[in-house]
Chain A
Amino acid sequence: MKNQIEAIIIEALQDLNDDIESESLENPTKETKIFGEEGALDSLALVSLISDLEEAIHDDFGKEVTLADEKAMSQHRSPFGSVESLTEYIELLIKE
Chain B
Amino acid sequence: MAHHCWMIDSFVEMADRRAIIYRDNLYSYTDLYKRINHYIQIIGKSGIKSGSVVAINSDYTFEAIALFFALAENQNIIVPIITTAPEEIANRIESAEVDWIFTTEDGEFRGRKLQFQGDSQKHDYISRLVSEKKSGLVLFSSGSTGKPKAMLHDLDRLMDGYRGKKQKEINTLIFLTFDHIGGIDTMLRIFSIGGTITIPASRQPEEISRLIEKHLVNVLPSSPTFLNLLLLSGLHHKYDLSSLKIIAFGAEPMPESLLLRLRKIFPNIELQQKFGTSETNAIKVTSRSNDSLFMKFDDPNLEHKVIDGELWLKSKTQVLGYLNASMESFTEDGWFKTGDLVETSEDGYIKIIGRNKEIINVGGEKVLPSEVESVLLEMDEFSDVMVFGEENQITGQSVAVEVVPKTEIDKREAKKAIRRFCKDKLDSYKIPTKITIVDQTNFGDRFKKIRRR
Contacts and interface: CB of A to CB of B under 8 A. Distances in A.
B402 to A, nearest CB: 13
Interface string A16-52: 0011000000000000000000000011101110111
A48 B433 contact: yes
B420 A18 contact: yes
27 contacts: A15-B412, A15-B415, A15-B416, A18-B416, A18-B419, A18-B420, A19-B419, A19-B423, A42-B428, A43-B394, A43-B395, A44-B363, A44-B431, A44-B433, A46-B394, A47-B395, A47-B398, A48-B419, A50-B392, A50-B394, A51-B398, A51-B433, A52-B415, A69-B393, A70-B393, A72-B393, A73-B393
Q: Tell me whether chain A's interface is mostly helix, strand or loop, or mixed.
A: helix
B420 A47 contact: no
B420 A43 contact: no
A44 B429 contact: yes
Contacts of A69: 393
A73 B393 CA distance: 8
B434 interface: yes
B431 to A, nearest CB: 8
Q: Tell me whether chain B's interface is mostly helix, strand or loop, or mixed.
A: mixed
Interface of A: 15, 18-19, 42-44, 46-48, 50-52, 55, 68-70, 72-73
Nearest to B365: A44
A88 to B, nearest CB: 19
Given A47-B398, A48-B434, A68-B393, 9 more contacts: A19-B419, A19-B420, A42-B428, A43-B363, A43-B395, A44-B362, A44-B433, A50-B392, A51-B433
A48 B418 CA distance: 12
B411 interface: yes
Contacts of A18: 416, 419-420
Contacts of A43: 363, 394-395
A47 B392 contact: yes
Nearest to A59: B411
B416 A44 contact: no
Given A18-B416, A19-B419, A19-B420, A51 B393 contact: no
Nearest to B400: A51
Contacts of B416: 15, 18
